[in-house]
Structure 1
Amino acid sequence: MRNKTILALGLLSTMLMAQGALATDLSIVHGAVGRDHDVLRAALDRYEVESGNKVTIVSMPERTTDQFAQFKLWLSARNADIDVYRLDVIWAPQIADHFVDLTDATKDIIDDFSPMALQSQKVDGKLVALPMFLGGPALYYRADLLEKYGKPVPKTWEELTATAKDVMDAERAAGHTDMWGYVFQGAAYEGLTCNAMEWIASSGGGQVVEPDGTISVNNEAAAKALDLAATWIGGISPEGVLNYAEEDARGIFQSGNAVFMRNWNYAYALVKGDDSPIKDGVAVTVLPSDGTHSPASILGGSHLGVSKYSKHPEEAIDLVRFLNNYESQKARAIDSSRPPTLMPVYDDKEVAEKVEFIPLWKPVIENAIIRPSAPTKTSYNEASSEIWTAAHDVLEGKTTGTKAVAKLAARLKRLKGSGWK
């Protein structure tokens, strides 16, 4: 009996040692806002139990501009320490050569993914990254305050400006001296490119650089949209908004110190969370327009790519598939209000019950406008920098909308040269 016990223990020890030998250590680099980190860690914990592998999260700064600069350094150096990258929706055309083509590895699941999301990640027929979640910004507003003062939800930028001021002034007169009318992403980074493109497109000014590569920004409608935004600074928006990213705006709004906020989907779970002081008074709607043109929301989102320099590409692909399966996308939708890229999740009853935001946002995602990363190709980063710089100069009062769009068009034409490359 004793010999059998020893033999059994020996076999068990051998099995455990074999499992340990087969286990793989992976890393995923991940820039997070809101609950993203915790939601990812929970998914990775499930993956580790299922696969036996271990995954380390390499955290990054909030701003995607800072993330991309670091990613390019790692990829240029052929860094083998990072297996999976969380990539912004606009990066595929610029860094495709550094990533594994996921076409064959995902052919059994790809039909359930958003066609638009997939298209954004294809470069010369190569699937650079598997879409993880989508984003479309909304206008968050204090429904309780609009009701209190008898104000309708604004549908135009002019209405937003007037309503924000009226409610802000009334709240300040009632003793809420820290109240502001509108907060958004006004810092000189990618977030301001998104805001500026939305102001311009929803005012009939085009998409700055059109899908065919034409530079269209030098027009009166675009100039007028920027000029209106400039009136917000120090008026309905704090001067500090010129340095705000997503979390800065959310912090002001969620603390109860703003009437309106422009932000992405992730903020919904936070402003409606149990610990949010404004959870019962918040609602969302589409962003305003000029009243003549359709509202415009920039397509956002993050996708997962496998580094060509990974020492464990098969395991890394398995991780990407796991993080984008139905269970993971459903959990992400519920826990962090991230719109899924797997279309069946939008019809999940539990998701609809727990986060009414997700099914309501499906048409917003489907009709979002896309930043010009495809037409500008490897020049997108420089093009975006020119866009946010022009917008920031107008917001700061350094120049007018008319001068800014003319200068922006000239600088984009110089960047384009004989053709975008």
Structure 2
Amino acid sequence: MHHARHICAVLALGAMAQTATADEVTLASGITGNAVENFKLIVAPWEKATGHTATLVPMPSSTTDQFGQYRLWLAAGNADIDLYQTDVIWAPQLADQFVDLSEPAGELMKSHFPSIVESQTVGDKLVALPIYTDAPALYYRTDLLEKHGASVPTTWEELTKTAQMVQDAERAEGNDDLWGFVWQGNAYEGLTCNALEWVKSFGGGQIVEPNGDISINNANAVKALELVSQWPGTISPDGVLAYQEEEARGVWQTGNAVFMRNWPYAYRLGSGDDSAVKGKFGVTTLPTGGGHDTSAATLGGWNIALSKYSENQDAALSLAMYLASPEAQKLRALNSGNLPTVVSLYEDADIAREVPIIPQWKDVFLQAVPRPSAPTKGAYNEVSNKFWSAVHNTLSGDGTAAENLELLELDLTDLKGSGW
């Protein structure tokens, strides 16, 4: 059976038959964790089938920095980059610079989650092909919770208490490097994600609602930020206000945190042979807060867009289609622990055996909350920047949550003008 399936996969790749000229296709992509090694692995079958080569052009891990670089290159009509790996939120802002893929990829897209395909569609244009989806979870140390008789917290208030209790108890035993909770507090897009989760899970809305209303200045949002403001210097290191994903994972994977908020990529790495927490952790949905009963996980995810300035359109399209295919998504799931956007892979026996977290994660992202990129259109980047700045100021003790959210509302109202 397995052999037959392998032959089917090879035949599917055979459709990308060898061409007379071998092209080098370049793909600009942010790199986090072991992305470079994984890329070589994933593209190998395509290279073999087509005779082309795929070259990764590594970008900074910060999505904010990536977006800035992409904008510069696209504005300059850069022909050196064929494909761009794009964040789920960028489609509306970059749509004009990319080739419409709805025609060539129409059939393939029927196997993907419709909501994810929709997130990459602007008007009638399919801006990019989904290659994996993403939603964060709460990582927790099973050994430490057991040792101190604590259960897995379901609310942020409970997490605050449990993190403090375990941290104090461990430090009393000489474990001075242990922190209660690590997350992403740097002033960048990642803080927008973390803070959207706090606010939404406290019943404080989505910053800007799907109908375009600015909702962030409300009592529940204030309550969420007031709680979180207590974390730096108590259950989280002061330096958390400069952390991105990799800094949080660094503390966690060396065994120095009880809880961590992070994306699925950290699961595979944390289970590696070189990890101090291998076999000692679990994951669960993020907590709720303020008596609210629904948790929130920011919908992330990555896609492949074809630059209209590319001079290798055919080979680049072939690689984009391959990367979005069930074959490549399965390889990615097995090697990186990334969540497929192809529905059938959630029932795949190999994935369930190798990365048991993936079938479990389906529930996490089915209730995930999108960032307000659709309602705010081209202004999203500025909206996010103003939001993460207001949150970062609050967490740094520069103004209260109430003051900063009131100022933010005024700023966003100015930005919106007579409509997004």
What's the TM-score bracket when you normalise by the shorter of the two chains? Answer: over 0.9
Deviation at 1:146, TM superposition (A): 0.2
Matching of residue 89 in structure 1 with residue 88 in structure 2: yes
Q: How does 1:2-401 map to 2 (within 5 A)?
A: 22-290=21-289, 291-401=291-401
Deviation at 1:292, TM superposition (A): 2.3
Q: Which amino acid aligns with 2:155?
A: T
Q: Which amino acid aligns with 1:138?
A: A
Matching of residue 411 in structure 1 with residue 411 in structure 2: yes
Output the CA distance in 2 between the equivalents of 1:229 and 1:69.
29
Output the CA distance in 1 between the equivalents of 2:324 and 2:122.
20
Contact 2:99–2:307 under 8 Å retained in 1: yes
Output the CA distance in 1 between the equivalents of 2:47 and 2:174.
52
Aligned to 1:13: none
Contact 1:61–1:67 under 8 Å retained in 2: yes
Q: Which amino acid aligns with 1:301?
A: G
Q: Which amino acid aligns with 1:402?
A: A
Contact 2:19–2:50 under 8 Å retained in 1: no
Output the CA distance in 2 between the equivalents of 1:376 and 1:148.
47
Q: Secondary structure of the equivalent of 1:385?
A: helix
Q: Secondary structure of the equivalent of 2:229?
A: helix
Contact 2:185–2:241 under 8 Å retained in 1: yes
Deviations 1:341-379 (A, max 9, x none): 111111101100111110000011111000000110000
Structure 2 unaligned runs (5+)? 1-17
Deviation at 1:20, TM superposition (A): 8.7
Deviations 1:94-132 (A, max 9, x none): 010000100011122111011111011000110000001
Deviations 1:268-304 (A, max 9, x none): 1011112211111110000001142300000001000
Q: Which amino acid aligns with 2:400?
A: T
Output the CA distance in 2 between the equivalents of 1:410 and 1:293.
30
> Any runs of at least 4 consecutive aligned residues in structure 1 with deviations exceeding 6 A, and if so which?
none
Please, what is the CA RMSD of the aligned residues?
Answer: 1.0
Deviations 1:223-262 (A, max 9, x none): 1100110100100000000000000000000101110000
Output the CA distance in 2 between the equivalents of 1:55 and 1:350.
26
Output the CA distance in 1 between the equivalents of 2:66 and 2:97.
16
Q: Which amino acid aligns with 1:232?
A: W
Output the CA distance in 2 between the equivalents of 1:368 and 1:312.
36
Moved more, 155-164 or 275-284: 275-284
Structure 1 unaligned runs (5+)? 1-18
Contact 2:167–2:178 under 8 Å retained in 1: yes
Deviation at 1:398, TM superposition (A): 0.7
Q: Secondary structure of the equivalent of 1:109?
A: helix
Contact 2:28–2:57 under 8 Å retained in 1: yes
Deviation at 1:335, TM superposition (A): 1.3
Contact 2:222–2:405 under 8 Å retained in 1: yes
Q: Percent identity, aligned pairs only?
A: 51
Q: Which amino acid aligns with 1:129?
A: A
Q: Which amino acid aligns with 2:275?
A: S
Q: Which amino acid aligns with 2:165?
A: D
Moved more, 91-100 or 319-328: 319-328
Deviation at 1:21, TM superposition (A): 5.4
Output the CA distance in 2 between the equivalents of 1:403 and 1:224.
12
Larger Rg over CA atoms = 1
Contact 1:121–1:130 under 8 Å retained in 2: yes
Output the CA distance in 2 between the equivalents of 1:107 and 1:257.
47
Q: Which amino acid aligns with 1:366?
A: L
Contact 1:87–1:303 under 8 Å retained in 2: yes
Contact 2:181–2:258 under 8 Å retained in 1: yes
Q: Secondary structure of the equivalent of 1:59?
A: strand
Deviations 1:139-159 (A, max 9, x none): 001011000000010000000
Deviations 1:179-215 (A, max 9, x none): 0000000000000000111000000111110011100
Q: Secondary structure of the equivalent of 2:110?
A: helix
Q: Which amino acid aligns with 2:191?
A: L
Deviations 1:49-75 (A, max 9, x none): 111011211000000000000000000
Output the CA distance in 2 between the equivalents of 1:376 and 1:242.
27
Contact 2:163–2:235 under 8 Å retained in 1: yes
Output the CA distance in 1 between the equivalents of 2:45 and 2:39.
10
Output the CA distance in 2 between the equivalents of 1:53 and 1:342.
25
Contact 2:185–2:244 under 8 Å retained in 1: yes
Contact 1:223–1:404 under 8 Å retained in 2: no
Contact 2:286–2:295 under 8 Å retained in 1: yes
Q: Which amino acid aligns with 1:154?
A: P
Q: Which amino acid aligns with 1:225?
A: A
Deviation at 1:36, TM superposition (A): 2.2
Output the CA distance in 2 between the equivalents of 1:230 and 1:178.
21
Aligned length: 402
Output the CA distance in 2 between the equivalents of 1:368 and 1:280.
27
Output the CA distance in 2 between the equivalents of 1:412 and 1:333.
39
